[in-house]
Structure 1
Amino acid sequence: MTVLEVPGDSPFGTSNLPYGVFSTADAGPRVGVRLGEWVIDLSRALGEECFAHPSLNAFLAQGRARWAEVRGRLAELVTGEVPDDAVVGLGAARMHLPFEVADYVDFYASQSHATNLGRLLRPDSVPLLPNWKHLPVGYHGRSGTVVVSGTGVVRPCGQLGPTGGPGPDFGPSRRLDIEAEVGFVVGVGSEPGSRITPAEFADHVFGVVLVNDWSARDLQSWEGAPLGPFLGKSFATSISPWVVPLAALEAARIDTPAQVPEPLPYLRGGGRWGLDIELSVAWNGDVVSRPPFREMYWSPAQMLAHLTVNGARTRTGDLFASGTVSGPTRDQYGSFMELSWGGSEPVTVGGRPRTFLEDGDEVVISATAPGGDGRRIGLGEVRGRVAAAR
């Protein structure tokens, strides 16, 4: 048996305990929980078959009472002795996609981001479209291209808008961008024709991941009218390997900013589901932005309520993301489209001016939040490097 001692300033202490799926040189993917610089193999530590699976889905489907029961057992386990064969050093663990993604929806919930994009794309119009303050705007993405942190991202090809000729060009994106986001993982689904209210959010959503919604802005601008994002978004969405349970984020819950006009009744109630999560965006090692999730206009509980208000079902493993997290100042913008103001105001990265991503660039998005013991907990990181178009 092993006693695991974790430094008091570790972002992965006993008040966090995020779940992931890992493998080692001698055994295939199974479920683990991170504590400090270790991974605890739950298939051995708890001896339950659902944790021997190569995804979290079987556990997620068991529901909120079960999630709480396992978290309680883990809290006792990690403050005592852990079986030796259940302890794996983080460096010996290879991380995998933590859950099978059933559906993927991306929202547009930051007022600062929506306003900035409106000013860039529609300079002669009002930045926010008339519907924006009445509902969480979103689009349905592609679950099959959600990948785990560390997976390379191939520069996408597609149609590029006319640049002087009679029609569009075809080729690699020249305006490849990132979007720093927070994603929410559905554990318990809902039946077709039913609705999930904001008050039922925590009965359905298990936890949180970090998201990089890679975006090809030139493909997106040409194809986007009239139906919105398609090939400019669907080529890759990266997520962090650790799913932080909502239970670990209780101390991070805050009110959303004032919502004026008052939302319709189905978007009201459910308690405080704004979250005081602080993101960091590093571009080739240089931190270029610190987007604050606390500024998000729409809460994740409202996003889920809107997603299902028409009767659309949810399933175990559904992922919905917040959309780009941006604050009101330039050092808080969560996309390079905003940070470089559409390419007109370059950012210094590695000692030279930059606008959009080049082949070989690496972006790392990380985040922390207040924890239950007064210290900050970590949400891990989502990392991706751009590879040349094929």
Structure 2
Amino acid sequence: MNKLFPKIIFSTGFFIIGIALGIWGSREFTASRSSLKSPSDDSTIVPVTNIFGVKKPPSTEKNINFIAEAVEKVGSAVVRIDASREVALNVPPNLDHPLFRHFFTDQIPDNPIEEGTGSGFIIADDGLIMTNAHVVEGAKVVSVVMKNGQSLEGQVLGVDTMTDVAVVKVNAQNLPTINFGNANDLIPGQWAIAIGNPLGLDNTVTVGIISALGRSSAEVGVPDKRVKFIQTDAAINPGNSGGPLLNAQGEVIGINTAIRANAQGLGFAIPIETASRIAEQLQKTGKATHPYLGIQMITLNEDIIKNGNIPQNLGFNIKEHIGVLVVKVVLNSPAQEAGFLAGDVILKVGNQPVLTSLDVQEKVELSNINEILEVEISRQGKTQIIKVKPQDFPTNPSN
């Protein structure tokens, strides 16, 4: 009995300790469960700490950043535009005779239908849409598909090929719209977000930065355009054309345009200031005007002068090292009527200094047709003012 008593006491002690640990552990488990209440509960969710002491984020917290916020803000205002146009075939006149068609219909093909897809964005809640000219050119009616899948018939109000801007109108009300930003305040390196329908993949989002500003049409490889392009490395592919380029706040700063088929990692956009100015004209009159002087010019700088890139047929030396050199004056143009001569160096347009030919083009573009525009030039070292009245850009300017 004396030997058994210590063993009983020892075993009883272990039993009591085990019960105490079990009760303590149960309370801790209950406390931890009570701290993790249902997401529907109004109480604050306490983050769980794992065995390494790292706090895990609550499962209900959204993983959202400024890009996602911008897309959520404007995504419903971005649309897909499906356009169809006839492609004219050159059928010999003798084969297009009605009698020949009666007997040989199968041998004379009708004009094939070319179908294309692009993007656009709503700028007014009554259905006004901005897009690229090359998306809808040749079509009077297009199909506009909303983000929710709703399809609306759109009427093409106007197309301007010189800036690649077009306006489409759908018959609807209270549509989601997009807000305009300011492309003039952009700085290379800022974020850029592109939304569109590349290759028919609706509502695709790509992101990058503003790579450069003020790219001339010649630099971009489309010399027939009158635009200072925004360059971005946000992916812009066929189908993105006409979609918005956004800043970090979700404001549109340009219209994406896939104009360089061989561009890899380079995208270009039309500044929203240019696009909105043209769109306003297209909405009101169905066409856009482009003031025209009728001069060919190059930018003077040390490299051009040093390398002898100035045409030698001017008949005299150029004394200025800064300005825009008039190389040629177009026959029967406003510039010829006003008295411009090859060899003139343009210093100011509308009392604003100009350093490049792109500056001159931009100032003329913002002038008014048939209203006097003062241009300060240097001719043989002497400064003078030429008063010229810009005219609308001719369809076929003289050489």
Say yes or no: TM over 0.5: no
Query: Greater CA radius of gyration, 1 or 2?
Result: 2
TM-score range with shorter-chain normalisation? under 0.3
TM-score (structure 2 length as normaliser): 0.22
Q: Which has the higher contact order (CA 8 A, sep 6+)?
A: 1
